[in-house]
Amino acid sequence: MAQQIPPGLAGHRKQGSTYYTPERIAAGRRNVEKYGWARSQRDRILGSGGAAGSAGPFAAMSDEALWALQPSTRLPRAHVPGTWFNMCPVHGVAMQAHNSYYAWRLDALDHPYKLQCPVGKEWYPSNDYINGDMTGGEFPDDGGGILRDGKRYFVLREYAHRVYRDVVVPALGALSQAYLLSNDSRYAHKCAVLLTRLASEYPNYGWGGAEPEMEDRSERTFYGPWNFSDPQPPHAKGGLISNGIWECSYLITIGRAYDALFAAIEADAALLAFARGKGLNVTTADGLRQYIESYLLRAGAHALIADYIHANEGGSQRTAAELALLYDNFTDRRPNSIDLLDYAFFGRSGACNLVGCGIYPHGGGHESPFYNTSKFGLISVAQRMEDIRRLHPGCLPVERYPDIFANPRARAMFDYYVDMTICDGYLPLFGDTWPGEDRRAQPPVVLGAGSNMLFAAGRYEDPRFAAACLDGNGGVIGGSLWEAIPEERIRALAAEIGNRLPRECRLVDPYGVGILESGDFERRRAVALNYTNMIGHRQQDALSIELYARRAYIVQEPGYPTPFSFRWQWDAHSMAHNTVTVDETQPPMFSYNRPTGGYGITVLCVRAPGTGEANEPPAAGCNGRARLFACAGGVHALSASHDTYSGVVLGSRDARPVSIFERMLVMVDADEDRFYAIDLFSVDGGEQHDLSWHAFDAPVTPPDLAWVAQEGGTLAGPDVERFSAYTDRWQRNYPHGHAPSFMTGVRRARLAGPACWKWDDGKPGGDRLRLHIVPIGRPVEAIMAQGGTPARKDMEYLLVRKLNKKGALSRFLSVLDPSPGEPWVEGVRVIRAKPLTVEVRLAGQVHEIALNPHETPTASAAHRNAGVRVTVRKGGAISRDVRIGSVPGEDSPGWITAAVKAVEDAETGRPRLKVGFRGKSEPGAFGPGTWVRIFTDTRSFMYRVVERKDAGKASAWLTLDKTMLLTEAPLAEIKGGALVLDGHLLLHRDLTGAPITVGDWSGTVSMAHEDGRIEIENPPEAIAGAKPGTMVKIWAFAAGARIEAPVISTGRGTAP
């Protein structure tokens, strides 16, 4: 139901520029005077270089040429099943080596309606489409694609999409800003011509029959020819000129261009005459503006609110708020700015729901580290709301549109990226995350957050956020050209912590990343463990690891699929990651009732007739848990588990299921320069366990073993061609191939004792990795192969394989030495089985590392008596003895456990817990800086203690580092005994077993669903009386939970 327009705004429509106010234009010009980054933006905008982002080439074009630049939207832009996307009719997939997604080269100004193959440099199509030739040459395309050998290549559709995305939209941004920077009306006129052309072609979804004078262009939308839904994958729908995700950001650029030109259109008589000459029924400048507003801004607003376009979470809300300001329309022609604000703030797609239901207490969202950045779109929601309030004071109170950044989880989004940035320059490549550049020669930076930290520093005045705004060279990072930079305040805040972010071991929990990090800036080293619970843009990389040394990325993860065509078979497959695969089985990619497949692949695996169901299960495990985390005396320990194989049918249908899937990492600093990491992976179930290893792109020297090379074929078999369909030894058929058929150059060897593999880039002082594989118990099989896709360069892989028909526990032990020169680790051997004790020899030192993972079923969150002990000897004498937790047979300090008696301030960013000890209080337990695990039998999260205060003989109050509130949303209704929330429960997998409150009533969640349904354990009759609109809150824990931390003992020296 449409909201009533506030009386003070009724009937108001746009009267002037609302984003590009005089204050913003003045700020932009000051930024150009003061900052090099702003001058670079100005030079690019006013320059005459490339077609994307510089105004010069477009300002030099005639009005007719500009009008012709944007193709007619009657030419479709989307591809359909059975067509060949990003492939050349002659060179095929080879072009994807140049760009996995957009290999075709575009030069719309000099080669209109043509695309160039980067391999052969020839242009397609062969016909002169723009001049009416539809059949000329060997490769004609009349809009229906090039037909070649039974395959259809839609070159003109790709061109039409790319010109809009890569030329027209950037040109609008450049021309409009060039006008603001120079006040040269030539830029305004050319921009207005292009904007008018776009308005005449921009698709829409009709006007509901109420406005017959308005043109219905629904069949010209991105998926209009296919009933408004992408046939592959079917969950994508809508779109306008582009698809439903990208169109959201393009609308902002289009809307801002119009805002910049608002006054200039009034004074441009030549523009009005030109528009009338093109058949537009406009007689005044105001009529032309109304035409542009209706067919661009209003059409986009309708598509957004009706869910025909929808960006990643945060992006849609940003688009709505931006359009609300740029449209500035409060008339009764819907949708108007009130409708856009309501969309931006409320309902399943609103900012309030996203903060309440889609952000973890530590600030991470439900997606990969790269895609979580989209949630920074909420900054625009807050900023544009304040802009609108300044335009219309007193009309839109905060009681109606709340301050979303007052929520501690909104603030935590910035903490998330500060903590996720490794070695001052890398984001872990977990899930679909784009790889960054080599950061060794670069100053420190907080990746992902970027200029958003300017907002955070100004809003919260946190020295950490301010330090993240410095570029490492004494300057402040660049922001928006048109926003003022509070430089003095940023510098003052950053100076409070020495202008540098402090770095230490940390967890991002319950999102699920553990980072062991130490060393000064130049010798920074780190190991990252992925136990993420992500849903969106996930990969099957549970418990994968990365290693960094001297700020270089050494043990690498594949990152973003290149392209999505091979995502399921390779890029996202567990065998492509540094983790374990059981029975070559890929757990399903989605965890909320979405089938495995997509992008033309509807079935990943089909069992042979008579062997069981056709598809692998539709739900995947999504629960990762940190078990042990502590750092002391140069020893950094982390243990985590994951249920990625929960409910998954393995190779044999009667195979023992996976019940243990966990990894223990210990990074040991030998001294300021030297370190190594020891890795123990434990897994059971199935009959074949493969631990994959790969590192940076460099030749690999294997140990001198009795290698046997397979003659031809792939890891799937000597008769299975690369990338082809095949049936595996468990009688599962893979019609589109599978990870083993993407691995070639197979060699095998028996490994009975420790051996070392070496990655070496061949440069003096360059990147090296020595990977020591240490078999435990029976010999293992070592398998070398090259893995990749037709579009992705091959990488050298090592698989360590263990076979066990009964699915018994396998342990994989590895030691990683990233020394750039002579090896730091001179030898490795197991010296004791119980507890598993490893001797690591270095020059001048001998280390003994006792590992006690205390494996129990992954599904249980109960206490484990796990621990680590590292003893360092120099010259035969013990120089360091660090003990964390419990190690059997040793004088181990063990664990401190207590009961959670009460929780206060749970909604704040600093909740307080009263904990009770057995007997008397433990004075040193749970002190500031300690990472504690709070758990029940089925739930487990980690928190850092900020403050401890004794509260009597056997209790203490602990202040923790993040909120206890997981989810909050208003009650919509009670249906079938379940609560239905007016919210999109993006974190629903983490809510089972959680405490829940509805008004004064409290209980426990038995099951949560993404669509907002909450099932409650033993719901009382009283809950049926809860009124719609009542806030429902779901908590991490309540009184009755347990809390624990390992006791740490350091002897004979506390540092390396």
Domain-located, residue 457: no
Q: Is residue 462 part of a domain?
A: no
Mean pLDDT of 486-508: 94
Asked whether residue 164 falls in the same domain as residue 292, the answer is: yes
Q: What is the largest CA-CA distance in the chain?
A: 95
pLDDT confidence tier of residue 267, bands split at 50, 70 and 90? very high
What is the pLDDT at residue 615?
Answer: 35
Confidence grade of residue 427 (pLDDT, cut at 50, 70, 90): very high
pTM of the prediction? Answer: 0.94
Same domain, 406 and 515: no
Residue 564: partners with Cβ closer than 8 Å, 6 or more residues away: 599
Residue 493 — pLDDT band, cuts 50, 70, 90? Answer: very high
- Residue that the structure tokens 């494996």 belong to: 855
Going by the DSSP 8-state scheme, the letter that residue 957 receives in this structure is E
Can you name the residues that pair with 736 across neighbouring β-strands?
A: none
CA atoms within a 13 Å half-sphere pointing along the CA-CB vector of 234:
6
Answer yes or no: do 147 and 159 share one domain.
no
Task: In whole angstroms, give the CA distance from residue 64 to residue 744.
Answer: 55
120 and 177 share a domain? no
Instruction: Choose one of 138, 153, 168: the last residue of a domain.
Output: 153
pLDDT for position 49: 67
Find out whether the peptide bond into 970 is cis, omega within 30 degrees of 0: no
d(CA 291, CA 231): 33
Look at residues 595, 587, 593, 653 and name the one whose alpha carbon lies nearest to residue 621: 587
What burial class does residue 674 get, using C-beta atoms within 10 Å of its C-beta: 0-12 exposed, 13-18 middle, 19+ buried? buried
In this prediction, residues 447-451 reach a mean pLDDT of 87
**pLDDT band at residue 617 under the 50/70/90 scheme:** very low
Residue bearing the bigger pLDDT, 1 or 230:
230
Q: Which amino acid is at 574?
A: S
Whether residues 953 and 973 fall in one domain: no
Retrieve residue 951's tokens: 């509260």
CA distance 115 to 103: 10
pLDDT at 600: 30
453 occurs within a structural domain: no
DSSP 779-837: -EEEEEEEEEETTEEEEEEEEEEEE-TT---EEEEEEEE--SSS-SEEEEEEEETTTEE
Mean pLDDT, to the nearest integer, of 273-301? Answer: 97
Q: At what angle do helices 377-391 and 315-327 cross, to 10 degrees?
A: 20
Domain finish residue from 829, 859, 885: 885
Residues 94, 74 share a domain:
no
Q: What is the pLDDT of residue 234?
A: 60
Which letter does DSSP use for residue 820 in this model? S
pLDDT averaged over every residue in the chain = 91
Question: Are residues 605 and 732 both part of a single domain?
Answer: yes
Counted domains in the chain: 5
pLDDT surpasses 60 at 779: yes
pLDDT in tens, 313-333: 999 999 999 999 999 999 999
Residue 612's pLDDT band, with cuts at 50, 70 and 90, is very low
Residue 331 falls within a domain, yes or no? yes
Q: Is 949 exposed, middle or buried (0-12, 13-18, 19+ CB in 10 A)?
A: exposed
More confident residue, 534 or 962: 962
- Provide the β-strand partners of residue 584: none
Percent of the chain with pLDDT over 90: 79
Report the pLDDT averaged over residues 250-265: 98
**454 within a domain of the structure (yes/no):** no
Q: Are the C-beta atoms of 410 and 313 separated by less than 8 Å?
A: no
pLDDT of residue 702: 98
Position 52 scores a pLDDT of: 67
Residue 20 lies in a domain: no
The four Cα atoms 728, 733, 734, 737 give a dihedral, to 10 degrees, of 40
What confidence tier does 919 reach under pLDDT thresholds 50, 70, 90?
confident
Q: What is the pLDDT of residues 861-873, one digit of tens each?
A: 999 999 999 999 9
Q: Strand 836-842 and strand 825-832: pairing? A: antiparallel
pLDDT at residue 593 is higher than 90? no
Q: Which pLDDT belongs to residue 596?
A: 32
**What is the arithmetic mean of pLDDT over 28-46?**
95
Grade residue 461 by pLDDT with cuts at 50, 70 and 90.
very high
If asked whether residues 816 and 843 sit together in one domain, one would say yes
Question: Judging by beta carbons within 10 Å of its beta carbon (0-12, 13-18, 19+), is residue 651 exposed, middle or buried?
Answer: middle
Q: What is the pLDDT of residue 563?
A: 78
Q: In this structure, is residue 493 part of a structural domain?
A: no
User: For residues 144 and 923, what is the distance between their CA atoms, to the nearest angstrom?
Assistant: 77
Same domain, 949 and 972: no
Higher pLDDT, 359 or 952: 359
| Domain extent at residue 1047 | 895-962+1043-1051
Of the two residues 775 and 890, the one the predictor is more confident about is: 775
> Do 797 and 650 sit in the same domain of this protein?
yes
- 719 and 858 assigned to the same domain: yes
Structural domain ending residue among the three candidates 361, 390, 420? 420
> How far is it, in rounded angstroms, from Cα 1043 to Cα 896?
8
Please report whether residue 587 resides in a domain: yes
pLDDT in tens, 707-731: 999 999 999 999 999 999 999 999 9
CATH code of the domain covering residue 296: 1.50.10
pLDDT of 233 reads 62
- Sorting pLDDT into bands at 50, 70 and 90, what band is 616? very low
Q: In this predicted model, what pLDDT tens digit does every residue of 946-994 receive, in sequence order?
A: 999 999 889 999 999 999 999 999 999 998 889 999 988 999 889 999 9
pLDDT of 816 above 90: yes
- pLDDT computed for residue 605 by the predictor: 47
Read off the tokens for 791: 């579009």
79 and 89: one domain? Answer: no
Position 599 pLDDT exceeds 50: no
The answer to whether 758 touches 805, Cβ cutoff 8 Å, is no
